[in-house]
Structure 1
Amino acid sequence: MKRYIIIALVIACVSCTKHIEDLNDQTKKPTGVPPASLFANAEKNLVDIMTTPSVNYNIFRLNAQYWTETTYNDESNYDLTTRNIPQSFWNSLYRDVLYNLKDAKRGIPQQDPQFTTPEQIRNELAIADILQVYAWSVLVNTFGHIPYSQALDIDAHPLPVYDSARAVYYDLFTRLDTSINALETGAASFGSSDIIYGGDVAKWLVFANSLKLKLGLIVADFDPVTAKKVVEAAAPYVMTSANDNAALIYKESPPNTNPIWVELVQSGRHDFVIGKTFVDNLVALNDPRVPLYFTADAAGGYSGGVIGGDNKYSTFSKPLDRIQEPTFEALLLDYAEVELLLAEAAARGFAVGGTTIAHYNAGVTASIVYWGGSEAQAADYLATTGNYATLPGTYKQKIGLQKWIALYNRGFDAWTDIRRFDYPVMETPEYAISGYPQRYTYPAQEETLNTDNYDAASAALGQGGDAVSTKLFWDLQ
């Protein structure tokens, strides 16, 4: 009996191993992902990483001193290395956003021509490239020189060189122009797979021009001639109301919930209170957004924690419940910011139509109304403590202050403006380990695996090299 059992096992083993290489086939893995799905995934990943308050990725609200920490205050004191924050942010943008968009662009022309017109293909390629430009601009405004021309091609360039930040910027202007010219508003695009604009090509055209306006002004101190050309070309076609906002509305249930809800509510953690720098400025201005941004503190007023200090969660004002709702929308770019950009452009003497004060007033009003205030509150504020003419300082300080207030919940953009305006002045954190961060340092993986190119990029950054104190090219004037 044992003899037959052994023979049967041998036969079974021979039968099982005859095509053993078939075990490597992943029968449940799709051979291809539709480009529309890749695009939607890239959109969500981009908005998530720009919105999350996770200290493993995004500490920009802390850099802008909107919030400060309670239990663990390392990041409020500019500690980027303990959690290797630059590497996590870098990888998320390259891997989860730019690679997805590259794969989407590769698949778009291969769609079935029975269901996809040439015009739709051109629109989808242009929109995917516009979103790539946004992601590239975030990387270059965070790190400076970055892998760009050789990036996203691991087979040809496993160790990509770093392009200069300036060269990247100027190529982004060219790419935006190409994509803007390619868009056909009468044709389709991604449809419902586009979770920001629902496939509305006209909205993407407005977004692209608004992004062009924004990037043009970022380089205005460094290269006013190019900035003027870029800004004036974009200005007639930018956002004209909150209906143009680039917004992603989250869902009620995970995994598509507002990442602020994930970190502040679902986690059950109490890690953040409002920063003293921010709340003190708004209270001094009697700004109508105070109760729209913050809860009352333990004493019934509004107060913020010491930046980088050992703050008690129950004592200070906290983010209002509204932005902690699972469905609260996140913004990549909005009308209030665009109007304040136009105010800056007008103050610089660029021909963008309208006056500095008119655009300033429109931007402040749009921000107050977006957050739940009224037109009447905005008008009263602009006639008193928020009045452009009577606020102290230069145009950069006046507009910089209002942009900082309006960009609440968009820490990255606020951090960018703080660096280029040098205003408002941020408090020195209680236990700061460096001066104010002018950039993220490069990921540790780059120093270890892409050493030669990392060394070259660090040297090219100039005095200071790969340090948080090294200013980016557009901030050297």
Structure 2
Amino acid sequence: MKKIGIISLLIILFFNSCSTDDINKDPNSAYTTTAESLVSYAEKALSDYNNTPNVNTNNFRLLMQYWQETTYVSESNYNFVNRNVADGVWNENYVKVLNNLQKAREIINAYSPSPSEISTWDAKKKGQLAIIDLLMVYTYQTIVDTFGDVPYSQSLQLVKYPLPVYDKGADIYVDLIKKTQEALTNLNGTPFGDGEYFYKGNSGKWKVFGNSLLLKLSIGIADSNPTLAQQIAQVAISGGVMMSSADGCQLPYQLASPNFNPLYSELVASGRDDFIAAETLVDYMINTNDPRISSYYQKNKDGVYVGQQPGKAGLIDVFSRIGTFAYTRTTPGTILSYTEVAFYKAEAAARWNTGNAAIEYENAVRASMKEWNIADDLAVSYIAAHPYDNSNWKKSVGEQAWVSMFNQGLTSWNFYRRLDYPVLIAPETAISNAGGKVPVRLQYPGREQTTNGTNWSAASAAIGGDRLTTKLFWDKN
């Protein structure tokens, strides 16, 4: 991992302006930084990464054949090397998110409360660290699910470990579960203020998020560590996971630059038209009479929905544009949605009888319909026409999760790799390194090969080769 310091943007507060009465103080120096401002920055960075369609960092909508590129189709054909995509992913998560959260942790641990704060500081401190831990758990899971074995135990300690070792993904998952459970026991009151943008520091909402994250972790290792997975899934569900869209974790983007949604940034503010609908999902939705198609896509110049074949370029007016939500400045940035959690509950019920699988499946599809403002009667008709199939639950859950996770590409990729549905076919024009298949991981950053070569080489050997086709430890089928 390249040694990168905390970036100067740490002081730039999202939705706030930074000012000082002392002109002799540098507003971009570390002494003006508060833990809450670092959390603010990290949360926006995390949301920006999750939601951007920028091909330098987030190509999961292309992988899952939701979107297609209009002109430059390298990423649609899985060439992620030209733009150093993996380096971008590494930087977004390790530097912009995790490094800032780690700095916030250090500030909190070093803080000396005033006499009036002493009686309440211990609980507040625990709560602040718990929220930071949950954000870090979420981010590390994202990194593991993208690459496999990654720096963990020695990461974020760049002075002591400038070249960190890579920990096994399976071991990281176990520790993330432990950290999540510990964080849940320390949440109380409102440890952060409005500068914590996801839940405004509300511990009750963070507990629901934490249990939902615990369920996500358990489902992630359902095939690689089924005993632990089942145990943790039951603990998470009984602890209280998301039950409606009001529980969802989102960033509320604003009208003004640079705080509008990164979708708007790439599709409108950039002045470019780089994306159109992909044929795979468009045809599936047409064939299944899915009412969400009008929310996902716009009709082309001829008044119909048309998607381009994955891997091929296409004219913007011939094929469908992405839905109007992507052209809207204030579309919220999704971190963890109720729809996603509902599908985890459906999968848990199918695997371990934690509930009625058919009902949980229907709840999940209905949650997606509501998320996209589809009328209840249309949702009921759609579910009746596409009932849960107990004999092939992976197909039922996998295909519907694929459709429902339209704006959550990485999450959709996880469902796809775990359940092997839907059946996606790689473009004939895809790079040879993909082996004729949709990639199941990203290769490690080129920068890691040159600056942390020994540990990169060991990790590559441990996972079975640093290739797009190397399955992660939890991808067993």
Q: Give me the TM-score of the superposition, normalised by structure 2.
A: 0.91
CA RMSD of aligned residues (A): 1.5
Contact 2:149 2:463 in 1 (8 A): yes
From 386, 394, 397, the equivalent of 2:395 is 397
Give 1:434-445 correspondences, 5 Å limit: 434=434, 435-445=437-447
1:77-122 alpha-carbon deviations (Å, 9 max, x no partner) = 0011010100111111000000000011111231644456321111
Give the superposition deviation at 1:28: 5.0
Q: Distance in 2 between matches of 1:28 and 1:164?
A: 40
Distance 2:130 2:327 in 1: 34
SS in 2 for 1:107: helix
Aligned partner of 1:183 in structure 2 is 187
Alpha-carbon offset, residue 298 of structure 1: 2.7
Quick check: 1:296–1:302 contact (8 Å CA) kept in 2? yes
Aligned to 2:8: none
Cα offsets for 1:114-138 (capped at 9, x unmatched): 4563211111100000000000000
Distance (whole Å) between structure 2 residues aligned to residue 179 and residue 172 of structure 1: 10
Q: What letter is aligned with 2:312?
A: G
Structure 2 partner of 1:41: 41
**1:349 corresponding residue in structure 2:** 352
Cα gap change, 1:27/1:42 in structure 2, threshold over 3 Å: closer, same or farther?
closer
Measured after TM superposition, the shift of residue 430 of structure 1 is 4.0
Is 1:429–2:436 an aligned residue pair?
no
Distance in 2, matches of 1:275 and 1:27, equals: 49
Q: Please report how far the alpha carbon of residue 416 of structure 1 lies from its aligned counterpart in structure 2 after TM superposition.
A: 1.2
Residue 106 of structure 1 is matched in structure 2 by 106
Contact 2:343 2:364 in 1 (8 A): yes
Deviates more, 1:111-120 or 1:214-223: 111-120
**Contact 2:113–2:121, Cα closer than 8 Å, also in 1:** no
Partner deviation per Cα, 1:362-409 (whole Å, 9 max, x = no partner) = 11111111111111211111112x22249xx71011001111111111
Question: Partner of 1:475: helix, strand, or coil?
Answer: coil
Amino acid at match of 2:70: T
Shift of 1:235: 0.7
Equivalent of 1:202 in 201, 204, 211: 204
Correspondences of 1:42-441 after superposition (within 5 Å) = 42-109=42-109, 110=111, 112-113=113-114, 114=116, 117-184=121-188, 187-236=189-238, 237-351=240-354, 354-384=355-385, 386-389=386-389, 394-433=392-431, 434=434, 435-441=437-443
* Identical amino acids, percent of aligned pairs: 39
CA distance in 1, matches of 2:26, 2:312: 54
2: distance between equivalents of 1:298 and 1:429? Answer: 26
| Local SS of the residue matching 2:194 | helix
Residues in 1 aligned to 2:224 and 2:389: alpha-carbon distance in whole angstroms: 27
Residue by residue over 1:213-237, the C-alpha shift from the partner in whole angstroms, topping out at 9 and shown as x without a partner, is 0110111111111110010000121
- Structure 2 spans left out of the alignment, 5+ residues: 1-23
Question: Which residue of 2 is the match for residue 473 of structure 1?
Answer: 473
1:65-84 per-position Cα deviation (integer Å, ceiling 9, x unaligned): 11011110000000110101
The AA in structure 2 aligned to 1:388 is Y
Residue 56 of structure 2 aligns with an amino acid whose one-letter code is: N
CA separation in 2, counterparts of 1:26 and 1:451?
41
Q: Please give the alpha-carbon distance, in whole angstroms, between the structure 2 residues aligned to 1:102 and 1:350.
A: 39
DSSP 3-state at the match of 2:159? coil
CA–CA distance in structure 2, aligned partners of residues 129 and 389 of structure 1: 38
* Residue identity in the other structure for 2:146: T
1:16 is aligned to none
Distance in 1 separating the partners of 2:25 and 2:453: 35
Determine if contact 2:440/2:471 at 8 Å carries over to the other structure. yes
Structure 2 match to 1:7: none
Provide the rounded CA distance (Å) in 2 between the counterparts of 1:261 and 1:374. 26
Greater CA drift, 52-61 or 314-323: 314-323
Q: Given residue 37 of structure 1, which amino acid in structure 2 is its aligned partner?
A: S
Tell me the distance in 2 between the aligned counterparts of 1:91 and 1:322. Answer: 27
CA distance in 1, matches of 2:424, 2:89: 23
1:244-275 Cα offsets, whole Å, 9 max, x none, are: 00011101001111000000000111111111
- Once the 2 structures are TM-superposed, how far is the Cα of residue 140 of structure 1 from its aligned partner? 0.3
Q: Letter of the 1:381 partner, please give it.
A: Y
